[in-house]
Amino acid sequence: GAGVSQSPRYKVAKRGQDVALRCDPISGHVSLFWYQQALGQGPEFLTYFQNEAQLDKSGLPSDRFFAERPEGSVSTLKIQRTQQEDSAVYLCASSLGLRDILYYEQYFGPGTRLTVT
Amino acid sequence: KNEVEQSPQNLTAQEGEFITINCSYSVGISALHWLQQHPGGGIVSLFMLSSGKKKHGRLIATINIQEKHSSLHITASHPRDSAVYICAVLAYGGSQGNLIFGKGTKLSVKP
């Protein structure tokens, strides 16, 4: 079946531009996660949704970062007024994650590589 | 100090060698993941474990909760195993979705 997909795969933005990154989770997956991975580093948690509810946004680095999942399926990560330090790969993952999601594996998308010039 | 430490950072092996990658963590955890990341960014979940040992093909993952340590073993390594292997933990008390990742171990298997 289809896995997690992300678009675009690559995005080049000029400093100050707004960008929107899309994640299509696996159909039926309740939980959705966004991670940021800087070059040479492990991913870092940004935010997590259970259905349409954003239950944790503690990892968002600034108020320029905003994520939504209005209908509990597709999610969009928006970055306003991009800065060079925003350059990274943005990974999305989903899991079946019902009431107790501690024991559900996460399935990762291919990522969106954002380069801010 | 990072909450999740992996060693080694880089590993080069000859085809057929037995490989061990280590992960130590400093927080109480609910579960630990081993992930594989190929060039281009795609991440695949290899194992999720909270105790004991799991085996899948040539891959074996073990965890010692008391020692806060996990290992990933690859038997009869092959060049196609070349990738970055990442350990990630789901900490007690944090958000259920908040994985804490190690920096990864870059493995290169030479033919």
Per-residue pLDDT of chain B (111 residues; tens, 9 = 90+): 579 999 999 999 999 999 999 999 998 888 899 999 987 768 888 998 888 999 999 999 999 999 999 999 999 999 999 999 999 998 876 666 678 899 999 999 999
Q: At residue A100, does pLDDT exceed 90?
A: no
Whether the Cβ atoms of residue A93 and residue A33 lie closer than 8 Å to each other: yes
- Residue A79: the pLDDT is 98
Whether the Cβ atoms of residue B69 and residue B24 lie closer than 8 Å to each other: yes
Q: Which of B43, B89, B100 to mutate to test binding with chain A, by most A CBs within 10 Å of its CB?
A: B43
- Residue B92: the pLDDT is 75
Average pLDDT over residues A11-32: 95
Q: At residue A110, does pLDDT exceed 60?
A: yes
Residue window 57-76, chain A: list those with CB within 8 Å of chain B.
58-59
**What residues in A contact B10, CB-CB < 8 Å?**
none
- Residue A115: the pLDDT is 97
Residue A50 CA to residue B76 CA, distance in Å, equals 40
Residue A8 CA to residue A26 CA, distance in Å, equals 17
**What residues in B contact A31, CB-CB < 8 Å?**
96-97
CB within 8 Å: B95 and A56: yes
Average pLDDT over residues A58-81: 96
The per-residue DSSP string of B82-111 comes to -EEEEEEEEETTS-TT-EEE---EEEEEE-
- Residue A98: the pLDDT is 59
Whether the Cβ atoms of residue A4 and residue A26 lie closer than 8 Å to each other: yes
pLDDT confidence tier of residue A1, bands split at 50, 70 and 90: low
Nearest CA to CA, how far is B55 from chain A (Å)? Answer: 16
In this structure, the number of other CB atoms found within 10 A of the CB of residue A69 comes to 22
- Residue B91: the pLDDT is 81
Locate the chain A residue with the closest alpha carbon to B5.
A42
Residue window 42-81, chain B: list those with CB within 8 Å of chain A.
42-45, 48, 50
Question: Who has greater pLDDT, A5 or A106?
Answer: A5
- Residue A17: the pLDDT is 97
- Residue B41: the pLDDT is 65
pLDDT single digits (tens) A24-56? 999 989 889 999 999 888 899 999 998 999 988
